Structure 1
Amino acid sequence: MAQQKGAIAATHTRVAIIGSGFSGLGMAIRLKGEGRHDFRIFEKEDGVGGTWRVNHYPGCACDVQSHVYSFSFEPNPEWTRMFAPRDEIRAYLEHCADKYRIRPHIHLGTALNTAEWDEDAALWRLQDEHGNRYTANMLVSGIGALSTPTYPNVPGRDRFQGKAFHSQDWDHDYDLRGKRVGVIGTGASAIQFVPEVQKEASNLKVFQRSAPWIMPKPDRPIRSWERALFRRVPTAQTLQRKTLYWMLEARVLPMLINPKLLRFVKVIARRHIHSQISDPVLRRQVMPDYEFGCKRVLMSNNYYPALDKPNVDLVTDDIQEITETGIRTADGQEHELDTIIYGTGFKATDPVPNGLIKGRGGQDLQEVWREGPEAYKGATIHGFPNLFMIMGPNTGLGHNSMVYMIESQIQYALDALKTMEKRDLDWVDVKPRKQAQYNEKLQSRLDGSIWTDGGCTSWYLHPETGKNVALWPDFTFRFAQQTCRFDPAAYKWGWREEQAAPPTPSNASNRKEEAFA
Structure 2
Amino acid sequence: MVEVESGSQGRKLRFVIIGAGMAGVLAGIKCKERGEEFTIYEKGDKVGGTWRENHYPGLACDTPAHTYSYSFAHNPDWSSYFAPGPEIREYFQAMADRYGVSEHIVFNAEIAECRWQEGRWHIRTKDGRSDVADVIVAATGVLHHPKIADIPGLNSFAGPYFHSARWDHSVEIDGKKIGVIGTGSTGVQIVSALCKRAGKLVHFQRSPQWIMPSTNPPYSEAQRAAFRADPTLIDAERNAPEALARRARFTAAIIDKDSPELAEIEAIVAKNLQDSVADPALRAKLTPNYRAACKRMVFSGDYYRSVQESTVYIETGAIDHVEPSGIRMKDGTFHELDVIALATGFHADRFVRPMTVIGENGEDLSDFWSERPRAYFAVTVPHFPNFFLLNGPTGPVGNFSLTDIAERQWEYSDQLLNLVREGKAQAIAPSMEALLDYETRRKAAAMNTVFASGCSSWYLDSEGVPQVWPWSYPYFLDVMANPRFEDYQLIGAADDDGDDEKKSSAAG
Unaligned runs of 5+ in 1: 1-11, 496-500
What is residue 125 of structure 1 aligned with on the other side? 122
- 1:426: Cα distance to partner? 1.8
Whether the 8 Å CA contact 2:351–2:392 is kept in 1: the answer is no
Task: Give, as a single letter, the amino acid of the residue that structure 2 aligns with 1:484.
Answer: A
CA distance in 1, matches of 2:121, 2:116: 5
Matches within 5 A, 1:350-389: 350-389=350-389
Alpha-carbon displacement from aligned partner over 1:155-207 (angstroms, at most 9, x marks no partner)? 22223222110111111111012322111101111111112222222211111
Q: Could you tell me which residue of structure 2 aligns to residue 6 of structure 1?
A: none
CA contact (8 A) 1:31 1:414 kept: no
More moved, 272-281 vs 314-323: 272-281
**CA drift at 1:446:** 1.5
Q: Which moves more between the two structures, 134-143 or 393-402?
A: 393-402
Aligned residues: 493
- Report matched runs for 1:53-452 at 5 Å: 53-118=52-117, 121-243=118-240, 244-257=243-256, 258-452=258-452
Task: Give the AA of the match of 1:30.
Answer: K
Kept after mapping to 1: 8 A contact 2:487/2:505: no
Secondary structure of residue in 1 paired with 2:180: strand
CA distance in structure 1 between the partners assigned to 2:169 and 2:260 by the alignment: 45
Instruction: Report Cα offsets for 1:229-258 as digits up to 9, x if no partner.
Output: 222222222122122345313321222234
Structure 1 residues 399-452: Cα deviation after superposition (integer angstroms, max 9, x where no partner):
431211111111122222221111342222211110010111111211222111
Equivalent position SS for 2:501: helix
Q: Structure 2: which 5+ runs fail to align? A: 1-11
Partner of 2:4: none
1:355 Cα deviation after fit: 4.1
1:44 & 1:395 partners in 2: Cα distance?
A: 23
Cα 1:222–1:175 shift into 2, 3 Å: same
1:465 — aligned with what? 463
Q: Distance in 1 between matches of 2:190 and 2:505?
A: 53
Inter-partner Cα distance in structure 2 for 1:246 and 1:74: 24
Cα 1:250–1:358 change in 2 (3 A) is same
**Aligned counterpart, 1:3:** none
Correspondence for 1:511 among 492, 501, 504: 501
Structure 1 residues 279 and 337, CA gap change in structure 2 (3 angstroms): same
State how far apart, in whole Å, the 2-side matches of 1:332 and 1:198 are: 25
* Letter in structure 1 aligned against 2:92: L
343-352 vs 205-214, which deviates more?
343-352
Instruction: Report if aligned partners of 1:181, 1:337 keep a CA contact under 8 Å in 2.
Output: yes
Normalised to the residue count of structure 2, the TM-score between the two structures is 0.92
Answer yes or no: is the 8 Å Cα contact 2:429–2:490 preserved in 1: yes
* Offset of residue 503 of structure 1: 8.0
* TM value normalised by structure 1: 0.91
Q: Shift of residue 45 of structure 1?
A: 1.0
d(CA) in 1 for partners of 2:237 and 2:449? 30
Question: For residues 373 and 388 of structure 2, what CA distance do their matches in structure 1 show?
Answer: 14
Structure 1 position 486, deviation (Å): 4.2
The answer on whether the counterparts of 1:349 and 1:461 sit within 8 Å (CA) in structure 2 is no
Q: After alignment, is 258-267 or 385-394 more displaced?
A: 258-267
> Cα gap change, 1:102/1:245 in structure 2, threshold over 3 Å: closer, same or farther?
farther
Residue by residue over 1:332-361, the C-alpha shift from the partner in whole angstroms, topping out at 9 and shown as x without a partner, is: 223222211100111112233234322234
Q: Is the 8 A contact 1:352 1:366 kept in 2?
A: no
SS of 2:28 mapped into structure 1: helix
Q: How many Å separate the matches in 2 of 1:101 and 1:265?
A: 43
Match of 2:474 among 463, 474, 477: 477
- What residue identity is the alignment partner of 2:426? D
1:189 aligned counterpart, secondary structure: helix
* Shift, 1:388, TM fit: 0.5
- The residue that corresponds to 2:51 in the other structure is 52
Conservation of the 8 A alpha-carbon contact between 1:259 and 1:450: no
Q: Which amino acid in structure 2 is aligned with residue 204 of structure 1?
A: L
Q: Do 1:404 and 1:476's aligned partners in 2 also have CA atoms closer than 8 Å?
A: no
- Asked if structure 1 preserves the Cα contact closer than 8 Å seen for 2:111 and 2:355, the reply is no
1:485 CA displacement:
4.2
Q: Is the 8 A contact 1:14 1:136 kept in 2?
A: yes
Structure 1 stretch displaced more, 362-371 or 131-140: 362-371
Distance 1:383 1:320 in 2: 46
CA contact under 8 A between 1:372 and 1:465: conserved in structure 2?
no
Q: Does the C-alpha gap of structure 1 residues 486 and 455 become closer, same or farther in structure 2, counting only changes over 3 Å? A: closer
Shift of 1:13: 7.7
Aligned residue identity for 2:444: S
Give the structure 2 partner of residue 18 of structure 1. 18
1:99 Cα deviation after fit = 0.8
Larger deviation, residues 165-174 vs 347-356: 347-356
Structure 1 contact 13–134 (Cα < 8 Å) conserved: no
Which moved further from structure 2: 212-221 or 330-339? 330-339
Match of 2:504, as an amino acid?
E
Question: For the Cα contact (< 8 Å) 1:354–1:364, is it kept in 2?
Answer: no
Residues 513 and 416 of structure 1: CA distance in aligned 2, closer, same or farther (over 3 Å): closer
1:371-417 deviation per Cα after TM superposition (whole angstroms, max 9, x unaligned): 21111010111121211000011113434312111111111222222
Decide whether aligned partners of structure 1 residues 441 and 198 sit closer, same or farther in structure 2, where only a CA change above 3 A counts. same
Cα–Cα, structure 1 residues 298 and 503, in superposed 2: closer, same or farther, change >3 Å? closer
Greater displacement, 68-77 / 359-368: 359-368
Residues 265 and 238 of structure 1: is their aligned pair in 2 closer, same or farther, counting only changes over 3 Å?
Answer: same
Q: Distance in 2 between matches of 1:350 and 1:457?
A: 18
Deviations 1:249-301 (A, max 9, x none): 33212222343433332232223223332322111100111011111111112
Q: Which residue number in structure 1 is paired with residue 455 of structure 2?
A: 456
